[in-house]
Every structure is written in structure tokens, then in C-alpha cells.
Structure 1
Amino acid sequence: MKITKFVVASATALAAGTVGAMAADLPAFEPVEYVQIEDAYGAGFFIIPGTETALKIGGRARIEGRIHDATDIKRDEKEFNARARFNLRIDARTQSELGLIRTYGDFELMTNSQQAVSTNLVHGYIQIGGLLVGKTTTSLDFYTGDLSSNTVDRNRSDTEVWQANYTYALGNGLSITAGIEDNAARARGVDYTAGGDPEFAGNGIPNFTAALRGKYGWGQFGIGAASNTIRSLYGEYDSQMGFAVLGAVTFNMGMIAPGDRVSFQAAYVDGAMGYVNSNEADAAVDAAGKIGTNKGWMVGGGLKHHWTETLSSGFDGTYFNVDHAVDGEDYSRYAMGATLEYRPVQDLLFSVGVGYADTRYDNKVLANGKDSEDELAVNFRVERTF
């Protein structure tokens, strides 16, 4: 019995020593550092381990088919085009002594049924407190529509430009933004041949912009102005200075249904046609050889209505009138569109949209013997955001 106890004790001691020796030979591991969720900036942000930077990675996939007739809708000259877009979006934010430092990028890859492939940096900027430098939506894009499908172009400011601006919060929901914009995205050139294609003299002085915004429980508003330098391609013509004045207001209509809204907008442009999304030249040379700016005004609006939690629709339109520098080239254009949108689950969209536009010339007859030209577009879209 004593021998048995001795053997058991010896075996136990040997095993303990062996396990201790093995444990001493194992490598030491650092404590595991788990990813920390940061919801101060909204859903989807997390802290990059070892830093104080919150990061969000997301994107969008969009597939659509579009039937577009840009001649006469009574004739069988329709065009079908399928298009796919993929966007990768990265948003990094860090609090600092200078305020919030934000770096944002939105990269897009697009292809269509004509086998055209393009890449684009839709948004790419650094924001330090109220200072923003880079490419993003212009500070004058107060209202960009209520459609979720690609139909026909409406005449309003809706683009991304290279810019540098500063936003200062005035308090009570008000803020003011002032800055400069690269006018490469806005310049429409000079028409030297009365009805020909505009010609460009290259990018010169940037556009100066200023905007006042207000955001409240009832909705929001924005008013702003921009300059636009028109450079002549030929030395005998002096450069011209154009400008644009824009404004819009949106009213929340939650008393009808959650998320409902109605918007109104207006703009006046003189030698700054890019601010109303027009391909018309900023200036033109008349029969007497004098250069003058083209002028125009726009009014428009739209609404969004939610029929149910998953079914909604949108409608918007613009009316644009042009006072051309050349006699007999005045015209007006109205464009409108409507969509029906279905969201069966969060971040998944099915939509169908239809749009119509008509351009009418005051004192001009086209090659087809008419004084107007119209276009019709129907679009089907599937979109997934993540």
C-alpha cells in the first residue's frame, strides 16, 4: 500500500513538472484587441485598432436599362442602353484640436452595353473643421431632385466640382459657405458661328461662390451666387464676366406621410449656363462681330410621397428660358420626370422612371421643318447599397 502511494505521488509530481516545463516553452501572446464600434458619426463606423480614427466602408451597385428617344417621339428612333455602376466609398473621421478631420472618397467603375468602361472619382476631399478642399458636390446644389431613376436632364445645378471653401455656423440653424470652384465643370465656352459648337479657351480664373443655408424642423432653404469668367479663344474679343444667382426651399410634409416633402427652386444666369445644367454657350458673337453673354432663368420644383413603408414615388420638373445674345436664337425648355420606387428590404431598391422634355425655339426652324425638338426616356433600375 505504501509502495502504491509512493508511485502515485511520484507520477503526479513528474506530470506537474512536465506541464510546467511545456508551458514555459510556449510563446507569449499579447491580449486580443477587439474592433470597437463608433456610433457617434452614425451606423457603420468602427475604430481602426491602435488609432483614434473612425472608419466606414460602404458602397453601391446599380444596374439599369434605359430607353431614350431624343429626336421625335412619334418616330421609331428609340435607343436602348444597359449600364452598370459600382461605387466604393471610404469615410474616415478623427477628432483633433482643429476640429473634426474627415477624409472621404467615392470611387466609381461604370460600363454599358456599348462596351464603354470608365472610372471616376465622384467625391474625394479632406475636411478640417469648416474647411473643405477637394472634389465634391458644389455648395450651390440646394435641390437636386426627387427621382431615383435616370430619365431626362432637368435644368438645375447638380454636379461635383473641384473646390475649396469654408463653412461657418452662424447659429440657429444658419450657416454660410464661401469659396472657389474650378470652372472646368461649369464653363460652356463661346459660340463664334451663330449656332455652332461652343469653343473653349481653357481654364482660367476660378469661380467665386457664396451660399447661405438654413435647416429647421419645418425644412430647409438655400440661396447663393457664383461668378464665371468667360475667356475668349481669339484675341480680338475681350473676356467677359458672368454670374449666377440660385435659391431653393424644401418643406417637410410629415403630416401626410413620414418622409414626404415638397421643394421649389429658381435661378437666374448671365454668362453662366453651367449653373442650370445647360449645354448652351456662355456667350456668343453676333452678326456685327460683337460678343455678348447668353442669359436665362429657371423655375422648378418637385415632391416625394411615401404610399407605404416600402412604396414611394417622386416627381420633379424645370422650366428654362434663354435670352440668346444672337437675334433669333432664343428658346425655352421644359423637362419633367416621375418615378415609382419599391424597397422590399433596407438598402435594396427597384424603380421605374419616365421623363419628357421639349425645347421650343422662338424664331428658328430646324432642319426637319419644325420649331421644336423633344425627348422621351424610360428607365428601369435595381440598386443595392451597403
Structure 2
Amino acid sequence: MNIKSLLLGSAAALAAVSGAQAADAIVAAEPEPMEYVRVCDAFGTGYFYIPGTETCLKIGGYVRVQVDGRSDFDFDGPAGGRFQEGGYRTNTRGYLTIAAKSDTELGTLGSSISLEADTNGGSQDFFVDEAIIQLGGLQVGYFYGYFDNGLPGETVLSDGGPLGSDFGYIGGDTLNNSIRYTFDGGSFQAYIQADAFDSQDGWKTGGFVNGAGDFVPGNEDELGVNAMIAGKFGGVAIDLFGAYDFDFDDGVIASTLAAEIGPGTLGVFGVYSFGPSRYWDFSEWSIGAEYAIKVSDKLAITPGAQYWSNILPVYGDSDYDGGDAWRVGVTADYEITTNLKAKATVNYTSVDVDLAGVGDGDRWDGFLRLQRSF
């Protein structure tokens, strides 16, 4: 065997071995297809299925930047003086709502949590605004009540009064731990709700004996009940609300009407209080109206006015002791682009408290807001 034959034989053997190895080569497995998020249209827009479950999730909220301004609140008369300092303030807010829903044999099971973060003048606040569990028409948790529904403008105060919390009012306490059952018949709705008002330490007790041997009454009566019926008839929607506070032994009735008239929507709010309570203690009665005019697809102008009668509550006496107030203003809403809106309002409030020789008082207030919703 010569050298040439030996080389040719070696090359052939190597080729045979290489061919056998190539035939047995390991091929990497292809990656499994990803499970993309599926749209859930069973509960409206914006929901998607949590991967691997039949629960639908929706995330929404807004970011708001706002500048508030107001004039000094001065009163005339012998005992008059400055009730409230004027000036301006800035505030930025982030608001996030996460809602989950699924179908069960008992109806739709839902839950939601709303988180709010505010920064204002160097201070920051972060808190849970609402937290709700819902099964069918039953709703339990921490949520707002009727008086926070409001009208489209910023003049009529459906959950407040002309003097506000600066005068020691407790009414408008509409965010509570509550239980509500709602019947929804399409054009007709009704609900009944029980509220547990927040006490200073959260405990509802029957009282206790202090170190001096004196009995300190508890706060077991810090409960309330309210109900509402509402209907929509063509372009008119109306509701009737009633509430009773067992601690103050007083109640309130209120109603809101909205009607499509001409180029806009008229909203009317009225309330009558039988005595000061946590639901309402800003006045014995009040009435307000706003008219939202659709100027264009992007611009709406809403003038409004409100009147309060007997604005000085007498707690524990189921009464009010004089004074009245009125308020006029206008609000402009402009849609800059999809999900980005600007709002501006200016309002004038006049108060006559007729207290200890104090006469009339008035002030201007308003704000400019930019809000991006998602």
C-alpha cells in the first residue's frame, strides 16, 4: 500500500464518520407559542383576561395638575373680620383604579380599588379612596354615597356649602364603610344602603368607665341608612334620595334632575334637611342649577347658580339658626385631544351669616386644571 492509497482511505473513513455524526445531530426544540393577552368584552371596554384565568381586569385612572385661587373672605359689620385668607395653591394628583370581574353561578363577581396620591405645597398624601367587593347587586366596602354624584359644572356644591369645612361642618361625610344593594331595571334603578360612620379610633362600642369612675358614652349609634330611586324617561333623568343618621336623629331628602334641552343639558339639584346630620348640615335647604352648553365637539360652557337658606346648624337641637348664601359662576371644559382635557372655573359666593353683628361676606374662587385620563 503506497502513501497515496493510505491518504485516500483515511479521508473516506473520516467522511463516513462525519456523515454519521451529522445524521445524529441534536436539533434544539422550537419555543412554545406565547399566550397573548385576550380582550374581554363581557363587561365593557378596557377589560382583558388575566392569563391563565377567566377573570377580567381593567386598569384606569388619571393624572391631574391644578392651580386653585381664591380671594380673602371678609365680613362687614361691627364684629366683622377676615374669615378666610386668600391666595393660590398648586396640586398634582395621581389616581389609579384597578377593577376585576368574573362570571359566577351567583352573578357577576367584581372588586375594585382606587388609590389617590396628592402633592400640594411640599406635603404628600397617599391613601385608598375606595375599596369594593361586589356580587350581583350586593356591594360592600369603602365607597362614596349619593352626594358625591354632582352636576357637570363646578358651581353647584351638591356635597358642600358656602362656608365649607372651615366653619366646622361635618356634613357631606359620604365616604364610609358601607353595604348597599342595588336593583337595576334598565331605565329604573333603586338601592338601599347602610353606613358605618368613622369614629376617631374606628371602634363602635357601648361606652366604658374611665379612671375617675365616670361612664363615657360610646359611639354605637354612629350608623346611618340611605336609599334612592332613579329613573330615565327619554331625555330626562331624575332621582329621589333619602337618608337618616341614627346618631344625630335627623334625616335629609334630596333630588337631582337632568334634562336635555336645546343645545345643552340642564341639571337641577335640591335638598331639604330636617336637622344637622353627617349626610348634610350645610343649610336647612338649598337649590342649585347648571346648564351645560355644547358649544362644539371640544368645548362646553356651564353657567350655574345656587342658594342656601338657614346655614348655621345647631347640633343636637335638630335646627338651623339663620343666615343664607348664594353663589354664581361659570365652568369651561375643553378637550385638547383624546383623553387630555382642560377645565377652568370661576365663582362668586356671597354669605350673610347675621351672627353677632356680622353682616355680609363674599369671595371669589376658581381653578385651572389639566387632566390626562386613561
Which residues of structure 2 form unaligned runs of 5+?
1-7, 77-81, 162-170, 200-216
Query: 1:145 maps to which residue?
Result: 151
SS state at 2:130 partner: strand
* Alignment check: 8 A CA contact 1:89 1:107 kept: yes
Aligned positions of 1:205-284 closer than 5 A: 205-230=222-247, 240-253=248-261, 256=263, 260-276=264-280, 278=282
Superposed CA deviations along residues 287-313 of structure 1, whole A, max 9, x for unmatched, are: xxxxxxxx7011112121221111112
* Alignment check: 8 A CA contact 1:153 1:335 kept: no
Query: 1:286 maps to which residue?
Result: none
Post-superposition offset of 1:30: 3.9
Q: 1:320 to 1:202 in 2, by over 3 A?
A: farther
Post-superposition offset of 1:147: 2.6
SS state at 2:127 partner: strand
Which residues of structure 1 form unaligned runs of 5+?
186-199, 231-239, 279-294
Letter in 1 for 2:151: G
Which of 93, 97, 100 is the matching residue for 2:105? 97
Superposed CA deviations along residues 309-355 of structure 1, whole A, max 9, x for unmatched, are: 11112233321112755899411122333211221211111222111
Q: 1:120 to 1:70 in 2, by over 3 A?
A: farther
SS state at 2:284 partner: strand
SS state at 2:279 partner: helix
* Alignment check: 8 A CA contact 2:71 2:363 kept: yes
Does 2:128 correspond to 1:130? no
Which of 346, 350, 358 is the matching residue for 1:358? 350
Cα distance in 2 between the residues matched to 1:112 and 1:152:
25
* Alignment check: 8 A CA contact 1:67 1:80 kept: yes
* Alignment check: 8 A CA contact 2:158 2:269 kept: no
Superposed CA deviations along residues 251-300 of structure 1, whole A, max 9, x for unmatched, are: 134x52xxx3111121111223443463xxxxxxxxxxxxxxxx701111
Letter in 1 for 2:296: T
Superposed CA deviations along residues 352-375 of structure 1, whole A, max 9, x for unmatched, are: 211121221246422xxxx12222
TM-score of the superposition, structure 2-length normalised?
A: 0.77
Query: 2:165 maps to which residue?
Result: none
Query: 2:5 maps to which residue?
Result: none
Aligned positions of 1:300-315 closer than 5 A: 300-315=288-303
* Alignment check: 8 A CA contact 2:194 2:226 kept: yes
Could you tell me the percent identity over the aligned residues?
23
Post-superposition offset of 1:68: 1.5
Letter in 2 for 1:50: G
Letter in 1 for 2:353: Y
Q: 1:40 to 1:12 in 2, by over 3 A?
A: farther
Does 2:196 correspond to 1:182? yes
* Alignment check: 8 A CA contact 1:147 1:337 kept: no
Q: 1:215 to 1:11 in 2, by over 3 A?
A: farther
Cα distance in 1 between the residues matched to 2:267 and 2:298:
22
Superposed CA deviations along residues 107-127 of structure 1, whole A, max 9, x for unmatched, are: 0011112x2221222221111
Cα distance in 1 between the residues matched to 2:157 and 2:308:
17
Q: 1:106 to 1:142 in 2, by over 3 A?
A: closer
Q: 1:226 to 1:154 in 2, by over 3 A?
A: closer
Query: 1:85 maps to which residue?
Result: 93
SS state at 2:153 partner: coil
Query: 1:63 maps to which residue?
Result: 65
Cα distance in 2 between the residues matched to 1:216 and 1:15:
82
Cα distance in 1 between the residues matched to 2:356 and 2:328:
24
Query: 2:373 maps to which residue?
Result: 385
Larger Rg: 2
* Alignment check: 8 A CA contact 2:287 2:307 kept: yes
Letter in 2 for 1:264: V
